Amino acid sequence: MFGVATISPSAPAGPLASVPALLAFSAEPLAHLRPLDIAVIAIYFAMVIWIGFYLKGQSDTGEQFFMAGREMTAWIAGLSFVSANLGSLELLGWAGSAYQYGILATNWYWIGAIPAMVFLGLVMMPFYYVSKTHSVPGYLDLRYGGEARTVAAIAFATEMILMSGVNMFAMAIVMKVVLGWDINFSIIVSSVAVALYVGLGGLRSAIFNEVLQFVLIWGGALLVPILGLYQAGGWTGMQSKIISNLHSDSYFHLWRDTGSFASNPMGVHWTGIVFGLGFAISFGYWTTDFLVVQRVLAAHNLRAARMAPIIGSFFKMATPFIVILPGLLGLVLLQNSDGSRRQLVGADVVAACTASSTGQPLDPAGCSAAMAKTNLSPETQQKVLSGAPDSELHDYNQALPLMMVRYLGPGLLGLGITALIAGFMSGMAGNVSAFSTVWTYDIYRPLIHKNATDKHYVLVGRLSIVIGVVVSIGAAYLVQQFHGIMDYVQALFSIFIAPLLAAIMFGMFWKRATRMAGFLGLFTGILFSAGLFVWVKLNPAKLAIVALSPDAKPMAENVFRALWAFCFSAIVIIVVSLLTKPRPVAELDGLVYGATKLPTEEWVPFYKREWFWATAVGIIFVVLNVMVW
Amino acid sequence: MHGSRIPIWFFIGLLLAVYGGMILGYGLYESTTGNFAPGVQLTELHTPVWWGALLLVLGLVYLFKYRPGKTK
């Protein structure tokens, strides 16, 4: 019995136990794979490596290796775009968050993604695409110059490698909890597979596998909500059971309880959700994070590049069905062997109640104190303290695996586990392929070796994937020594992404933004954001200032920190731009709105136009939000 | 993807067909022998049979539609 370190992107950073201590404990895994399950997983690995070898011959030039030859269709680019994001932190973390917070967690899929994805397709994509940049730092280079590019490239490359390590570690620890697999085995096998298929086939191989992984994730995970809803008596049955069990209907409202920080379990306010999450974080991630933008840049023409994020947005809107719904269903369906409701708890409580070989907690007093802060019944607490059979605690992040084990027999369980592995690997492949491009084109070429041949840069790209994976493995082991890995991931992500958004937005939509302003806005914005993070880390009471309320919880800090960092960078860019000399408008062709003549696209019927599908996305988005208001 | 290259949809069709065949085969064995895996719920719905069949049909459709050498 031990807890997975908090991996949910939404989970507040609570008091986490030492990860090494958790890992040292040998526990009974949640599931046992049969030969059929092993065969399903082995076939998946064989397929992804085969694809890598098959595509090796189509990845000889820089354009082919780093940009997949820019010949992906809108569907392939769009599915790859969402799949690269559907990594380890998504499937398990958000199912756990839904168990904790209810449907409020869906905001991270809807307002926290859809408007930004549509905006990328309709408004921003033409500038990225027409400029023919290889990367987002590359766009900054064209727009502002080398200083902004270097800051963005170094920050991004560092973030990618560390994120990849976190992905790897998250996968390994889940495999240990669910299947009892050795941590080292999981890390080595998954990283070698990713290094092989991305190193051989470049971005094309990463994209192919991401599309494959997307299909597998849905094929493996879709059964859980279908069977869960059937058993719970449909949506209304689930709703009435949750209200009856938890005496609250707030689990089913997306916006109703966000009028104050204290009235919802996440401790967030709607202003933070709309402006911090819906704008600063979401637009920062979906429109400027090269991990996802790279997939769209590989599209075969401008129309496909504009359609890809819009196609992706339909699937993103549907993802809560396989992620959020299993978490909600877990609230009513997960049972102990005696038929009583199984309640999941935080990883810190699971760690505090780590059992000895007799089944009783190693530290009964600590366990008792930790359980006192939960809503576990006195009977359950007594069972845990006495080490009764089937009394082990499970943490929120185990909601999805527990639901899988409940419904999936041999073969199907293998498919479900393959879906999890595919999610982990698509995230990791996205990290290393984006790292390779940024390292080669935005760091190595301008700063280390300027005028080498195309062949040389492809070789550097292949080597950087291998080196990137090795560094990621090091980062994965580092995470084992680090308390609270999500703190670390979220810090990296939110520190960097909001200032980058400000630099890109002003660069793309304001002709007056100058070279010095772009660099200073980005650089000082990163310092400001990092400063806010450190300030609250050193003195948690300052959260009330950052998030504007004494009732705010750490999730509110993330969204408000991103918002303040964007505002800070925006002010720096505006002030410095007004004090420095702008570039002539003629130099901004292809880079800035109002200075660019966009190419005319061939006529297509209305149902093939991006505006038509963007409108459809908008209508569905509004209807869904109103339905669960 | 164009020309004589194998499209990604072919790989997807192949994987779905193989998985569908394996899961359907096991589901039929399970249903005919009544030898269900312990602890799994809703076995009376014979999920591996219909889910495996669905994956198999989808896979075969993609295999046929995107087979290598077929011109667009």
Within a domain: A455: yes
- B42 with A407: Cβ contact below 8 A: yes
A408-445 pLDDT, tens digit each: 999 999 999 998 888 888 888 888 999 999 999 999 99
Contact B14, B61 (CB under 8 A): no
Within a domain: A76: no
Residues of chain A with pLDDT > 90: what percent?
A: 41
- Determine contact: B53 vs chain A, CB below 8 A: no
Per-residue burial over A95-120, b = 16 or more CB atoms within 10 Å of its CB, e = otherwise: bbbbbbbbbbbbbbbbbbbbbbbbbb
A198-247 pLDDT, tens digit each: 999 899 888 988 898 899 889 988 999 999 999 999 999 999 998 888 88
Within a domain: B16: yes
Within a domain: A308: yes
Within a domain: A367: no
pLDDT bracket for residue A12 (50, 70, 90):
very low
Within a domain: A344: no
First to last CA, chain B: 10
| Non-local CB neighbours of A243 within 8 Å, separated by 6+ positions | A249
Within a domain: B31: yes
Question: What DSSP state is assigned to residue B25?
Answer: H
Closest partner CB to B23 (pick from A44, A208, A411): A411
| Strand, coil or helix: A607 | helix
Lowest mean pLDDT among A211-220, A462-471, A545-554: A545-554
- B40 with A411: Cβ contact below 8 A: no
Question: How many structural domains are present in chain B?
Answer: 1
Within a domain: A371: no
Residues of A in Cβ contact (< 8 Å) with B18: 43
Q: Is A14's pLDDT higher than 80?
A: no
Within a domain: B10: yes
| Non-local CB neighbours of A114 within 8 Å, separated by 6+ positions | A313, A316, A317, A617, A621
- A409 with B40: Cβ contact below 8 A: yes
ipTM of the prediction: 0.93
Within a domain: A304: yes
pLDDT bracket for residue A8 (50, 70, 90):
very low
A59-68 pLDDT, tens digit each: 888 888 988 8
How distant is the alpha carbon of residue A106 from its chain centre? 14
Residues of B in Cβ contact (< 8 Å) with A408: 40
Q: Is A608's pLDDT higher than 70?
A: yes
pTM across the whole model:
0.88
Q: Is A614's pLDDT higher than 90?
A: yes
For residues A70-96, average pLDDT = 85
Contact A322, A224 (CB under 8 A): yes
Most confident of A57-61, A281-285, A476-480: A281-285
Q: List residues in chain A touching B: CB distance below 8 A.
A: 34, 36, 39-40, 43-44, 47, 51, 54, 58, 71-73, 76, 208, 211-212, 215-216, 219, 223, 227, 230-231, 405-412, 415
Within a domain: B26: yes
Q: Most B CBs within 10 Å: which of A38, A73, A212, as the mutation test of the B interface? A: A212
Q: Domain limits at A465?
A: 19-66+87-334+402-627
Contact A225, A325 (CB under 8 A): yes
- B16 with A219: Cβ contact below 8 A: yes
For chain B, list residues with pLDDT below 50: 1-3
Residues of B in Cβ contact (< 8 Å) with A407: 40-42, 47
Confidence at residue A522, expressed as pLDDT on a 0 to 100 scale: 96
Nearest-Cα distance to chain B for A343, in Å, is: 19
| Strand, coil or helix: A355 | strand
Confidence at residue A329, expressed as pLDDT on a 0 to 100 scale: 94
Confidence at residue A89, expressed as pLDDT on a 0 to 100 scale: 64
Q: Is A15's pLDDT higher than 70?
A: no
pLDDT bracket for residue A17 (50, 70, 90):
very low
Q: Bigger pLDDT: A245 or A12?
A: A245
Mean pLDDT across chain A: 86
pLDDT bracket for residue A485 (50, 70, 90):
low
| Non-local CB neighbours of A573 within 8 Å, separated by 6+ positions | A502, A503, A506, A513, A517, A518, A520, A521
User: What is the SS3 assignment for A287-315?
Assistant: HHCHHHHHHHHCECCHHHHHHHHHHHHHH
Residues of A in Cβ contact (< 8 Å) with B34: none
Within a domain: A351: no
A491-514 pLDDT, tens digit each: 777 788 899 999 999 999 999 999
Confidence at residue A339, expressed as pLDDT on a 0 to 100 scale: 75
- A36 with B26: Cβ contact below 8 A: yes
Question: How many structural domains are present in chain A?
Answer: 1
